[in-house]
């Protein structure tokens, strides 16, 4: 019985991608080892999520509901689903864009979001907004 390809694994690089994937798996310097990728991902996501709106929302929901277990399961499932969207979108983008373009686009998106959020904060706390509220 033949093995189905991993839909979330590395993108195919040609006709004989099975050989290339096996070579990459055998040589950790070619494509990061499973443990290194896992640890890097877990650490990055953990640090990125500390103190963000999601964590604060979970804190408030837990305090209001008095059911921290249910809030934990709900928040965990939500994070898993949103991470899946990011992984699948990243997989697709890696097939249509060069890594350098993807990094540049991600950087520009982060700068644009930061500027937009900064603008929203300035407008929210501007003296004119406070007077009109």
The distance from CA 127 to its chain's CA centroid, rounded to whole angstroms, is 36
- Domains in the chain: boundaries: 97-133
- Match 């998106």 to its residue by tokens: 109
CB atoms within 10 A of CB 81: 10
Q: Is the pTM of this model over 0.95?
A: no
- Report the first-to-last Cα separation within the chain, whole angstroms: 68
5-36 pLDDT, tens digit per residue, is 555 555 444 434 443 444 444 444 456 799 99
């Amino acid at each position: 019985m033949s093995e189905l390809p991993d839909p979330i694994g590395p993108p195919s690089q040609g006709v004989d991608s099975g050989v290339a994937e096996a070579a990459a798996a055998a040589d950790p310097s070619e494509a990061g080892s499973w443990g290194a990728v896992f640890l890097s991902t877990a650490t990055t996501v953990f640090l990125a999520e500390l103190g963000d709106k999601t964590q604060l929302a979970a804190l408030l929901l837990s305090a209001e509901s008095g059911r921290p277990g249910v809030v934990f399961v709900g928040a965990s499932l939500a994070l898993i689903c949103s991470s899946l969207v990011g992984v699948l979108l990243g997989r697709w983008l890696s097939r249509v864009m060069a890594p350098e373009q993807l990094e540049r686009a991600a950087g520009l998106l982060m700068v644009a979001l930061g500027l937009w959020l900064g603008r929203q904060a300035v407008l929210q706390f501007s003296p004119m907004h406070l007077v009109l509220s």
